[in-house]
């Protein structure tokens, strides 16, 4: 285990040329920094002793006041398609990667300070993050991880009394974010549109060597065309990721190509939301006026973003100088045609498990869609319904607690008869099924109103106790937590007034 001053820092990304980044140092707070919250589970991934969480040295390091020895801070360059339109240069406008810390069991982790000041890519911004957005990402990244979905992790939040100007004056904060890599689809796009094709090859080689070979996937380097194999791996991870999002009702809100991880991680938490009263067209982002990133559009947008990555990789997909660009296009298209069937298979498997079904049968998709249609028509809460479905009893003519979630009770009765018949086809045991279902259907999610309560207490009273409570619950979302039963209920009426946007 390490203390803050003995963490073994390196930075393999900094070994690339400065075409890929700008070296920059964090801008310290003007007022004293303090630790707002610390994640021992994330600290364990890099071997950092949790008892050091309030040490002055750690606070200084994670607030940008002092640089750890061996670090090599930088801001990454990338471009991306934002709301369908290409933006030629973006980059880490408010995030600075300190470097990497390796652990013999968990591998290599990049540590990034998000909200640590200006970088060359800040454009008209100030390089700062506000407390509310920092709390939201801190809590949601841990929630998504605990749901079994790949994501960046949050190590800590530091803050001060410095003021940050958004729609109003707010308190600033810095999130320490961890990931094996923060490389995005847009990291490749920037060089394609600049006609810097050698940089695309260099970056692809770096990703294969550092993030797939070291992750026990050496077969990528051994392929006749390792870049095509890389694209196929990214496609598969992306399809799996979005299927998982859909299964838990998670809406990312800003699926720009620069917010898509090359490793298939959930990255860049902004105006996210979890579907509550089920509506497939749920829009969580107040800035998304056209509904481009609505919940039911996410699978299609995943494919669009993969097409952006495929285009950026075309110069290196050609196996030899004699190959034509048309051949590279066809190879990329062949990979992309696999996306929809793979996504459908992944999603179907996840939803079958949410229904407590073990065997795959032809009528399963119809059974699921009928339930979702009923939920939409009756505005039934997505998470509550699937959790309570574990209590369904096949031998009862009416499952009253479930039935009462629907205004159209007769409609539910008809569906439940078909569900009971389907369970009988595989001789399902109700008790065993409930155990299985409660391991995949969470009782607790990060509802926007729960985050809002924590934010208001932190902003108005400097009271971080609600963050403690949510953090504890969200780390074990499948448990019953009887003392926190109210956190699993329907949102209050005032929750409908909460609006989150790209500034959130």
pLDDT in tens, 357-368: 999 999 999 999
> In this predicted model, what pLDDT tens digit does every residue of 135-152 receive, in sequence order?
999 999 999 999 999 999
Three-state DSSP state, 213:
helix
> In this predicted model, what pLDDT tens digit does every residue of 162-193 receive, in sequence order?
999 888 899 999 999 999 999 999 999 999 99
Q: How confident is the model at residue 439 (pLDDT cuts 50, 70, 90)?
A: very high
- pLDDT computed for residue 389 by the predictor: 97
Rounded CA separation 209/330 (Å): 26
Tell which residue, 278, 291, 492, 289, has the closest CA to residue 406.
Answer: 278
Q: Is the pLDDT of residue 212 over 60?
A: yes
Three-state DSSP state, 26:
coil
- pLDDT computed for residue 503 by the predictor: 60
Tell which residue, 221, 190, 194, 191, has the closest CA to residue 206.
Answer: 221
Q: How confident is the model at residue 213 (pLDDT cuts 50, 70, 90)?
A: low
Which of 108-122, 158-172, 216-230, 375-389 comes out lowest in average pLDDT? 216-230
Query: Can you name the residues that pair with 176 across neighbouring β-strands?
Result: 113, 156
- pLDDT computed for residue 397 by the predictor: 73
Rounded CA separation 150/419 (Å): 31
Phi-psi region of 398 (alpha: psi -120 to 50; beta: other; left: phi over 0): beta
Which alpha helices (DSSP H) does 382-443 contain, by range? Answer: 382-389, 400-403, 409-425, 430-437
Is-contact 13 97, C-beta < 8 A? yes
Which of 69-73, 222-226, 291-295 comes out lowest in average pLDDT? 222-226
Backbone φ and ψ of 178, nearest 5°:
-125, 140
Say how many C-beta atoms besides its own lie within 10 A of residue 325's C-beta. 11
Rounded CA separation 248/228 (Å): 31
Three-state DSSP state, 193:
helix
Rounded CA separation 175/158 (Å): 7
Q: Across the chain, what does the average pLDDT equal?
A: 94
What is the arithmetic mean of pLDDT over 7-12?
A: 95
User: E strands within 353-502?
Assistant: none
Q: How confident is the model at residue 325 (pLDDT cuts 50, 70, 90)?
A: confident
For the chain, helix, strand, coil in percent to 5 are: 45, 15, 40
Is-contact 276 221, C-beta < 8 A? no
Q: What is the pTM of this model?
A: 0.96
Q: Which token pair is 394?
A: 């096949």
Q: At what angle do helices 226-248 and 298-317 cross, to 10 degrees?
A: 170
Q: Which residues are catalytic?
A: 258
Cα four-point dihedral sign 275, 277, 283, 286: negative
Rounded CA separation 326/16 (Å): 30
- Please spell the DSSP secondary structure of 284-317, one letter per residue: -BTT-TT-TT-GGGHHHHHHHHHHHHHHHHHHHH
Q: How confident is the model at residue 218 (pLDDT cuts 50, 70, 90)?
A: low
Which residues have a Cβ under 8 Å from the Cβ of 262 and sit 6 or more positions away? 181, 183, 184, 185, 187, 188, 207, 211, 234
Q: Which token pair is 146?
A: 């605990």
What is the arithmetic mean of pLDDT over 266-291?
A: 96
Q: Is the pLDDT of residue 225 over 90?
A: no
Query: Can you name the residues that pair with 501 across neighbouring β-strands?
Result: none
Backbone φ and ψ of 476, nearest 5°:
-135, 65
Rounded CA separation 202/58 (Å): 34
> In this predicted model, what pLDDT tens digit does every residue of 440-473 receive, in sequence order?
999 999 999 999 999 999 999 999 999 999 999 9
Tell which residue, 492, 360, 357, 504, has the closest CA to residue 436.
Answer: 357
Backbone φ and ψ of 375, nearest 5°:
-65, -40
Q: How confident is the model at residue 320 (pLDDT cuts 50, 70, 90)?
A: low
> In this predicted model, what pLDDT tens digit does every residue of 388-438 receive, in sequence order?
999 999 987 779 999 999 999 999 999 999 999 999 999 999 999 999 999
* Gyration radius from the chain CA atoms: 23
Is-contact 37 167, C-beta < 8 A? no
């Amino acid at each position: 285990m390490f203390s803050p001053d003995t963490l073994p820092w390196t930075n393999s990304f900094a070994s690339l040329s400065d075409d890929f980044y700008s070296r920059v140092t964090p801008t310290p707070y003007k007022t004293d920094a303090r630790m707002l919250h610390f994640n021992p589970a994330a600290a364990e991934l890099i071997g950092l002793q949790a008892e050091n969480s309030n040490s002055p040295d750690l606070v200084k390091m994670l607030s940008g006041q002092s640089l750890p020895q061996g670090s090599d801070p930088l801001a990454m360059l990338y471009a991306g398609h934002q709301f369908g339109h290409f933006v030629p240069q973006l980059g880490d406008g408010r995030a600075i990667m300190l470097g990497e810390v390796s652990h013999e069991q968990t591998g290599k982790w990049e540590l990034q300070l998000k909200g640590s000041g200006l970088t060359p890519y800040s454009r008209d911004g100030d390089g700062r993050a506000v407390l509310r957005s920092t709390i939201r990402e801190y809590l949601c990244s841990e929630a998504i991880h605990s749901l079994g979905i790949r994501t960046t992790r949050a190590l800590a939040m530091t803050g001060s009394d410095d003021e940050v100007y958004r729609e109003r004056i707010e308190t600033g904060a810095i999130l320490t974010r961890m990931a094996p890599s923060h490389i995005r689809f847009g990291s490749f796009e920037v060089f394609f549109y600049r006609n810097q094709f050698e940089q695309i090859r260099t970056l692809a080689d770096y990703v294969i060597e550092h993030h797939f070979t070291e992750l026990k996937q050496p077969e990528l380097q051994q392929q006749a065309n390792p870049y095509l194999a890389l694209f196929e791996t990214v496609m598969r991870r992306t399809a799996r990721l979005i299927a998982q999002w859909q299964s838990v009702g998670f809406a990312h809100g800003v699926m720009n190509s620069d917010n898509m991880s090359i490793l298939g991680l959930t990255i860049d938490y902004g105006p996210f939301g979890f579907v509550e009263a089920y509506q497939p067209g749920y829009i969580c982002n107040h800035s998304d006026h056209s509904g481009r990133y609505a919940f039911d559009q996410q699978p299609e947008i995943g494919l669009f973003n993969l097409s952006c990555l495929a285009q950026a990789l075309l110069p290196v997909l050609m196996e030899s100088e004699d190959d034509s660009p048309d051949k590279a296009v066809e190879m990329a298209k062949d990979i992309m045609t696999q996306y929809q069937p793979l996504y459908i298979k992944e999603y179907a498997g996840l939803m079958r498990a949410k229904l407590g079904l073990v065997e795959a049968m032809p009528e399963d998709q119809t059974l699921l869609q009928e339930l979702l249609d009923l939920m939409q028509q009756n505005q039934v809460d997505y998470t509550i319904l699937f959790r309570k479905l574990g209590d369904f009893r096949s031998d009862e003519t009416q499952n009253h607690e479930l039935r009462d979630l629907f205004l159209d009770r007769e409609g539910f009765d008809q569906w439940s008869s078909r569900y009971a018949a389907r369970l009988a086809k595989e001789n399902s045991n109700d008790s065993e099924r409930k155990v299985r279902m409660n391991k995949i259907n969470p009782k607790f999610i990060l509802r926007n109103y729960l985050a809002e309560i924590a934010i208001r207490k932190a902003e108005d009273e400097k009271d971080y106790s609600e963050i403690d409570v949510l953090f504890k619950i969200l780390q074990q979302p499948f448990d019953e937590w009887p003392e926190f039963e109210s956190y699993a209920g329907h949102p209050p009426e005032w929750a409908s007034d909460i609006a989150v946007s790209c500034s959130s």
